Amino acid sequence: MKKRIVIALGGNALGNTLKEQMEAVKKTSRAIADLVEAGHEVVVTHGNGPQVGMIQEAMDAFSAGSPMHPRIPLTVCVAMSQAYIGYDLQNALREELVNRGINKSVSTIITQVIVDKDDPSFKHPTKPIGNILTQEEVEYALLNNKPIINDSGRGFRRVVPSPKPLAIVELDSIKSLINAGKIVIACGGGGIPVVMEGEHLRGVPSVIDKDYASCVLAKNISADSLIILTAVEMAALYYGTPQQINLSTITTEEARQYIGQGHFGSGSMLPKVSAAIDFAESGENKETLITLLEKAKDGIDGKTGTRIVKGGKPDGAL
């Protein structure tokens, strides 16, 4: 059965360097092409945490060494990350489709997303960006009051505000391309965060969580399914312990209960499950799947992944 699917790519689908990204998007494109070949309409979103941090660090270093060139705002760095990730991804996906005899064009939309200028995250930054910091970089950050966080035990990373997405500025353009049968890459890195000031859109220094932005997009284009791809095959209770319990199909009420019990890490699975609940409750027969990139097709067929559905007793495949 043909579905309209928003597929949200995690960082593992993109790599951490330009070379890694070139290799990663080939694998990513094969998984996306499987869904297209199966007859589904696909819209792609992606994260940019490592990439946007790398861009800003490079731009800051350039500005520091060349006073004639002012510092580049974080919002511009988000736009840069959208363009260069989209460039690699759309070309790799186009080539994969051509090799399968599928005639569909792929377009990247540089996407702005409206946020609230009074969002509490601006006072309490939580979104990790950039690479894991060295010990020297950690000490520098602490001495200069630069916010950092231990990212799921992997090491310290810089953190920035992550306001909740409210609306997508380029929504009409995205819809037009989808309705014309095109494959769209949009809301990269959660979108460029902007606030409305009259008719002016002003960028605000922050990075929107891509899972929340993907949920907003999925609701606004009347998607049937939201697929959130991550580094694990299934969400789990007691993750990483001998008592770990993988979750197959759960209701939104069960998911809320597990959140309340603290089962999902704030920097990893929590935003994914929260976005999954929001989308699943946005209408009838809306479902969210959380799984690995290479398991996306199997997840749609009900063979793996964590499937989140609205209330009631779940049954059947995605």
CA distance 232 to 229: 8
User: In this structure, are strands 225-230 and 127-129 parallel, antiparallel, or unpaired?
Assistant: unpaired
CA distance 27 to 31: 7
* Cα-only R_g, the chain: 19
Q: Measured between alpha carbons, how far is residue 127 from residues 49, 136, 161, 163, 184 in Å?
A: 8, 21, 6, 9, 26
CA distance 100 to 95: 9
* β partners of residue 177: none
Question: Residue 120 carries which DSSP code?
Answer: G
State the catalytic residues.
11-12, 127, 210, 272
- Give 308's contacts (C-beta < 8 A, 6+ positions apart): 249, 250, 251, 252, 255, 273, 276, 277, 280, 287, 288, 289, 290
Q: Return contacts of 61-66, CB within 8 angstroms, 24+ apart.
A: none
In the numeric block, the tokens 């990204």 are attached to 21
Whether the CA torsion 189, 190, 193, 199 is positive or negative: it is: positive
The encoded tokens of residue 121 equal 């995250």
